[in-house]
Amino acid sequence: MPELHFITAEVCPFAQRSHLALLEKGLDFKHSEIDLRDKPAWFEAISPYSKVPVLQRGDDVIYESAIINQYLDEVYPTPPLMPADPGQRARARIWIDFDNVKFTVSFYRVLLEQDQERRAALARAIVDQLNFIEDEALAKLGYASGGAGQYFLGSEISQVDLDYYPHFERFSVLTAYRGIEIPSRCERLRAWMATMEQRPSVQATRHSADYHVDAYKRYADGSADGTTARDMRTA
Ligand SMILES: N[C@@H](CCC(=O)N[C@@H](CS)C(=O)NCC(=O)O)C(=O)O
Protein backbone atom coordinates (compact mmCIF):
# COMPACT_ATOMS: atom_id res chain seq x y z
CA MET A 1 0.00 0.00 0.00
CA PRO A 2 1.64 3.31 -1.05
CA GLU A 3 2.15 5.85 1.75
CA LEU A 4 0.85 8.68 -0.45
CA HIS A 5 -2.78 9.25 -1.40
CA PHE A 6 -3.28 11.86 -4.14
CA ILE A 7 -6.80 13.21 -4.51
CA THR A 8 -7.26 14.93 -7.82
CA ALA A 9 -9.41 15.77 -10.83
CA GLU A 10 -7.67 15.46 -14.17
CA VAL A 11 -9.37 18.58 -15.50
CA CYS A 12 -7.68 20.72 -12.82
CA PRO A 13 -4.45 22.57 -13.66
CA PHE A 14 -3.52 22.96 -9.99
CA ALA A 15 -3.87 19.22 -9.46
CA GLN A 16 -1.75 18.67 -12.56
CA ARG A 17 1.04 20.69 -10.91
CA SER A 18 1.24 18.18 -8.07
CA HIS A 19 0.68 15.19 -10.34
CA LEU A 20 3.73 16.38 -12.31
CA ALA A 21 5.79 16.63 -9.11
CA LEU A 22 4.80 13.10 -8.03
CA LEU A 23 5.79 11.73 -11.44
CA GLU A 24 9.02 13.73 -11.69
CA LYS A 25 10.03 12.28 -8.34
CA GLY A 26 9.10 8.76 -9.41
CA LEU A 27 6.86 8.24 -6.38
CA ASP A 28 4.37 5.47 -5.84
CA PHE A 29 0.95 6.82 -4.86
CA LYS A 30 -2.71 5.92 -4.62
CA HIS A 31 -4.67 8.08 -7.06
CA SER A 32 -8.30 9.07 -6.38
CA GLU A 33 -10.11 10.98 -9.08
CA ILE A 34 -13.13 12.94 -7.87
CA ASP A 35 -16.01 14.61 -9.68
CA LEU A 36 -15.80 18.33 -8.85
CA ARG A 37 -19.49 18.80 -9.61
CA ASP A 38 -20.47 16.00 -7.24
CA LYS A 39 -17.83 15.93 -4.53
CA PRO A 40 -17.98 12.89 -2.26
CA ALA A 41 -18.61 13.47 1.46
CA TRP A 42 -15.28 11.85 2.43
CA PHE A 43 -13.52 14.46 0.28
CA GLU A 44 -15.43 17.38 1.81
CA ALA A 45 -14.48 16.04 5.22
CA ILE A 46 -10.74 16.22 4.56
CA SER A 47 -10.50 19.22 2.17
CA PRO A 48 -10.94 22.48 4.10
CA TYR A 49 -11.06 24.57 0.90
CA SER A 50 -13.23 21.98 -0.89
CA LYS A 51 -10.66 21.92 -3.69
CA VAL A 52 -8.30 19.47 -5.33
CA PRO A 53 -5.49 18.64 -5.13
CA VAL A 54 -5.11 17.11 -1.68
CA LEU A 55 -2.25 14.86 -0.61
CA GLN A 56 -2.48 12.52 2.36
CA ARG A 57 0.57 10.97 3.97
CA GLY A 58 -0.09 9.40 7.35
CA ASP A 59 -1.55 12.15 9.53
CA ASP A 60 -0.47 14.88 7.11
CA VAL A 61 -3.28 16.21 4.92
CA ILE A 62 -1.73 18.80 2.62
CA TYR A 63 -3.58 21.09 0.22
CA GLU A 64 -2.67 23.99 -2.08
CA SER A 65 -0.71 22.64 -5.05
CA ALA A 66 2.42 24.80 -4.63
CA ILE A 67 2.60 23.82 -0.96
CA ILE A 68 2.05 20.14 -1.77
CA ASN A 69 5.00 20.41 -4.18
CA GLN A 70 7.19 22.00 -1.50
CA TYR A 71 6.16 19.27 0.93
CA LEU A 72 7.00 16.55 -1.59
CA ASP A 73 10.41 18.10 -2.16
CA GLU A 74 11.12 18.18 1.57
CA VAL A 75 9.95 14.62 2.27
CA TYR A 76 11.48 13.13 -0.90
CA PRO A 77 14.50 15.32 -1.70
CA THR A 78 15.73 13.29 -4.69
CA PRO A 79 15.61 14.39 -7.44
CA PRO A 80 15.43 17.96 -6.07
CA LEU A 81 12.78 20.34 -7.34
CA MET A 82 14.24 23.39 -5.63
CA PRO A 83 17.80 24.74 -6.01
CA ALA A 84 20.28 24.29 -3.14
CA ASP A 85 21.53 27.89 -3.10
CA PRO A 86 19.42 30.21 -0.85
CA GLY A 87 19.45 33.05 -3.41
CA GLN A 88 18.25 30.71 -6.14
CA ARG A 89 15.64 29.23 -3.80
CA ALA A 90 14.36 32.73 -3.07
CA ARG A 91 14.15 33.44 -6.80
CA ALA A 92 12.25 30.19 -7.31
CA ARG A 93 9.76 31.28 -4.63
CA ILE A 94 9.40 34.73 -6.22
CA TRP A 95 8.38 33.11 -9.52
CA ILE A 96 6.06 30.61 -7.84
CA ASP A 97 4.44 33.56 -6.08
CA PHE A 98 4.15 35.54 -9.34
CA ASP A 99 2.38 32.59 -10.88
CA ASN A 100 -0.11 32.23 -8.01
CA VAL A 101 -0.72 35.89 -7.32
CA LYS A 102 -0.54 37.41 -10.81
CA PHE A 103 -0.54 35.09 -13.81
CA THR A 104 -3.03 32.46 -12.66
CA VAL A 105 -5.40 35.09 -11.28
CA SER A 106 -5.29 37.01 -14.59
CA PHE A 107 -5.95 33.76 -16.49
CA TYR A 108 -9.24 33.20 -14.63
CA ARG A 109 -10.30 36.83 -14.40
CA VAL A 110 -10.04 37.48 -18.14
CA LEU A 111 -12.20 34.42 -18.75
CA LEU A 112 -14.78 35.28 -16.12
CA GLU A 113 -14.99 38.97 -17.07
CA GLN A 114 -18.07 39.73 -19.20
CA ASP A 115 -17.51 43.49 -19.62
CA GLN A 116 -15.64 44.21 -22.89
CA GLU A 117 -13.57 47.11 -21.62
CA ARG A 118 -12.44 45.41 -18.42
CA ARG A 119 -11.76 42.25 -20.41
CA ALA A 120 -9.49 44.17 -22.81
CA ALA A 121 -7.55 45.64 -19.86
CA LEU A 122 -7.12 42.16 -18.38
CA ALA A 123 -5.96 40.81 -21.75
CA ARG A 124 -3.32 43.57 -21.92
CA ALA A 125 -2.21 42.68 -18.39
CA ILE A 126 -1.68 39.04 -19.43
CA VAL A 127 0.46 40.08 -22.40
CA ASP A 128 2.53 42.29 -20.05
CA GLN A 129 2.95 39.34 -17.70
CA LEU A 130 4.09 37.09 -20.55
CA ASN A 131 6.68 39.68 -21.60
CA PHE A 132 7.76 40.00 -17.98
CA ILE A 133 8.24 36.22 -17.69
CA GLU A 134 10.22 36.23 -20.95
CA ASP A 135 12.49 39.13 -19.95
CA GLU A 136 12.87 38.71 -16.20
CA ALA A 137 12.71 34.95 -15.70
CA LEU A 138 13.71 33.16 -18.86
CA ALA A 139 16.22 35.71 -20.25
CA LYS A 140 17.85 36.51 -16.91
CA LEU A 141 17.67 33.16 -15.12
CA GLY A 142 16.85 30.34 -17.51
CA TYR A 143 19.21 31.52 -20.23
CA ALA A 144 21.66 33.36 -17.95
CA SER A 145 24.49 30.93 -18.63
CA GLY A 146 24.88 31.80 -22.29
CA GLY A 147 21.81 30.21 -23.80
CA ALA A 148 22.27 26.82 -22.16
CA GLY A 149 19.15 27.11 -20.01
CA GLN A 150 15.91 25.46 -21.00
CA TYR A 151 13.91 25.85 -17.82
CA PHE A 152 12.84 28.81 -15.69
CA LEU A 153 15.92 28.64 -13.45
CA GLY A 154 18.49 27.19 -15.87
CA SER A 155 19.35 23.77 -17.18
CA GLU A 156 17.51 21.82 -14.43
CA ILE A 157 13.77 21.46 -14.14
CA SER A 158 12.33 22.85 -10.90
CA GLN A 159 9.04 23.36 -9.11
CA VAL A 160 8.75 26.69 -10.93
CA ASP A 161 8.36 24.88 -14.27
CA LEU A 162 5.89 22.37 -12.84
CA ASP A 163 3.75 25.10 -11.29
CA TYR A 164 3.59 27.20 -14.47
CA TYR A 165 3.18 24.44 -17.03
CA PRO A 166 -0.52 23.50 -16.54
CA HIS A 167 -1.88 26.97 -17.29
CA PHE A 168 0.36 27.21 -20.34
CA GLU A 169 -0.97 23.85 -21.53
CA ARG A 170 -4.36 25.58 -21.29
CA PHE A 171 -3.27 28.77 -23.08
CA SER A 172 -5.43 27.71 -26.06
CA VAL A 173 -8.42 28.53 -23.83
CA LEU A 174 -7.38 32.21 -23.71
CA THR A 175 -6.86 32.22 -27.46
CA ALA A 176 -10.18 30.51 -28.20
CA TYR A 177 -12.37 32.63 -25.92
CA ARG A 178 -10.46 35.90 -25.64
CA GLY A 179 -8.15 36.05 -28.69
CA ILE A 180 -5.02 36.30 -26.53
CA GLU A 181 -1.80 34.99 -28.09
CA ILE A 182 1.68 34.51 -26.70
CA PRO A 183 3.60 37.46 -28.24
CA SER A 184 5.92 36.40 -31.07
CA ARG A 185 8.85 38.09 -29.27
CA CYS A 186 8.51 35.54 -26.40
CA GLU A 187 10.75 33.01 -28.12
CA ARG A 188 12.20 31.60 -24.91
CA LEU A 189 8.73 31.02 -23.54
CA ARG A 190 7.73 29.08 -26.65
CA ALA A 191 10.95 27.04 -26.47
CA TRP A 192 10.26 26.34 -22.79
CA MET A 193 6.77 25.03 -23.63
CA ALA A 194 8.23 22.75 -26.31
CA THR A 195 10.81 21.47 -23.82
CA MET A 196 8.15 20.81 -21.20
CA GLU A 197 6.01 18.92 -23.71
CA GLN A 198 8.84 16.40 -24.07
CA ARG A 199 8.84 15.48 -20.37
CA PRO A 200 7.31 12.04 -19.72
CA SER A 201 5.45 13.53 -16.72
CA VAL A 202 3.74 16.03 -19.03
CA GLN A 203 2.98 13.39 -21.64
CA ALA A 204 1.35 11.23 -18.95
CA THR A 205 -0.92 14.01 -17.68
CA ARG A 206 -1.66 16.27 -20.64
CA HIS A 207 -4.92 16.84 -22.48
CA SER A 208 -5.70 18.29 -25.89
CA ALA A 209 -6.54 21.91 -26.62
CA ASP A 210 -10.13 20.88 -27.45
CA TYR A 211 -10.50 19.16 -24.07
CA HIS A 212 -9.38 22.32 -22.26
CA VAL A 213 -11.48 24.69 -24.37
CA ASP A 214 -14.53 22.59 -23.56
CA ALA A 215 -13.63 22.41 -19.86
CA TYR A 216 -13.51 26.23 -19.55
CA LYS A 217 -16.79 26.95 -21.35
CA ARG A 218 -18.59 27.93 -18.15
CA TYR A 219 -15.78 30.25 -17.10
CA ALA A 220 -15.87 32.01 -20.47
CA ASP A 221 -19.64 32.52 -20.48
CA GLY A 222 -19.53 33.68 -16.86
CA SER A 223 -21.77 30.89 -15.51
CA ALA A 224 -19.09 29.01 -13.54
CA ASP A 225 -20.17 28.98 -9.89
CA GLY A 226 -17.70 26.59 -8.20
CA THR A 227 -15.35 27.53 -5.39
CA THR A 228 -12.54 28.43 -7.78
CA ALA A 229 -14.69 30.79 -9.88
CA ARG A 230 -15.98 32.50 -6.72
CA ASP A 231 -12.47 32.91 -5.34
CA MET A 232 -11.06 34.23 -8.63
CA ARG A 233 -13.86 36.79 -9.07
CA THR A 234 -12.74 38.48 -5.87
CA ALA A 235 -8.98 37.77 -6.07
N1 LIG B 1 -4.94 27.47 -5.01
C2 LIG B 1 -5.41 26.11 -5.16
C3 LIG B 1 -6.42 26.06 -6.27
C4 LIG B 1 -7.06 24.69 -6.42
C5 LIG B 1 -8.35 24.75 -7.23
O6 LIG B 1 -8.83 25.85 -7.55
N7 LIG B 1 -8.90 23.57 -7.55
C8 LIG B 1 -10.16 23.54 -8.25
C9 LIG B 1 -10.19 22.72 -9.50
S10 LIG B 1 -9.10 23.37 -10.72
C11 LIG B 1 -11.23 22.95 -7.35
O12 LIG B 1 -11.05 21.93 -6.73
N13 LIG B 1 -12.36 23.63 -7.33
C14 LIG B 1 -13.50 23.20 -6.61
C15 LIG B 1 -14.71 23.96 -7.04
O16 LIG B 1 -14.61 24.78 -7.96
O17 LIG B 1 -15.77 23.74 -6.45
C18 LIG B 1 -4.21 25.20 -5.45
O19 LIG B 1 -3.23 25.68 -5.98
O20 LIG B 1 -4.27 24.00 -5.11
Q: Which atom of ligand 1 is nearest to the CA of 52?
A: 12
- 53 near 139, Cβ under 8 Å? no
12 noted as active-site residue:
yes
Q: What percent of the chain has pLDDT over 90?
A: 91
Q: How many angstroms does the Cα of residue 207 sit away from the middle of ligand 1?
A: 18
C-alpha span between 92 and 86 (Å, rounded): 10
pLDDT tens-digit map of 80-98: 999 999 999 999 999 999 9
SS3 letters across 201-226 = HHHHHCCCHHHHHHHCHHHHCCCCCC
Specify the pLDDT at position 148.
60
Specify the pLDDT at position 102.
97
State residue 64 phi and psi, 5-degree precision.
Answer: 75, 110
Report whether residue 80 contacts ligand 1, using a CB cutoff of 6 Å: no
Q: At what angle do helices 104-112 and 171-178 cross, to 10 degrees?
A: 30
Specify the pLDDT at position 184.
97
Specify the pLDDT at position 146.
67
Write out residues in the chain with pLDDT < 70, as ranges.
Answer: 145-149
Q: Which of 7, 12, 55, 180 is catalytic?
A: 12
Question: Taking the model in full, what pTM does it have?
Answer: 0.97
- 121 near 174, Cβ under 8 Å? no
C-alpha span between 56 and 63 (Å, rounded): 9
Report whether residue 199 contacts ligand 1, using a CB cutoff of 6 Å: no
The span from the first CA to the last CA of the chain, in angstroms, equals 39
- 132 near 199, Cβ under 8 Å? no
Report whether residue 215 contacts ligand 1, using a CB cutoff of 6 Å: no
CB atoms within 10 A of CB 49: 11
Integer CA distances (angstroms), 94 to 144, 170, 193, 233, in order: 17, 22, 20, 24
